[in-house]
Amino acid sequence: MTDRYNNIMNRLKPMNYNPDIHPGFTEHIVNTYGILRERPDTSGAEGDFYNNLEYLLDVINTIVPSEKQADCIILLNCLHHLSQTDGKPLFIW
């Protein structure tokens, strides 16, 4: 497990992920904005948006307060990078 953690951190740190800041920041974001109450319908065209990096960046830039946008973008970019390298969707419902 330690090797997997170190491997992930080595991939994310060049993307400005800070393990001293971003875990707590992520918890703050989830506590502030909540989680989805219902599983989204991913079968239609709307489902494509949930894994579309440009759409999600636009959501961050539109909804998230400016002082938190940079860190939210870092987290999104890290999630996107991990999904790409793992060959998985950004979000698995």
Q: Which pLDDT belongs to residue 45?
A: 72
**Which residue in the block uniquely carries the two structure tokens 């950004």?**
90
Q: What is the pLDDT of residues 44-75, one digit of tens each?
A: 777 778 889 999 999 999 999 999 999 999 99
Q: Which pLDDT belongs to residue 70?
A: 98
Tokens of 88: 């998985």
Q: How far apart are CA 4 and CA 63, in angstroms?
A: 33
Contact in structure between 47 and 40 (CB atoms under 8 Å): yes
Where residue 22 falls (left for φ over 0; alpha for ψ -120 to 50; beta otherwise) is: alpha
Asked if pLDDT for residue 43 goes beyond 80, the answer is no
Where residue 34 falls (left for φ over 0; alpha for ψ -120 to 50; beta otherwise) is: left
Percentage of the chain modeled with pLDDT above 90: 72
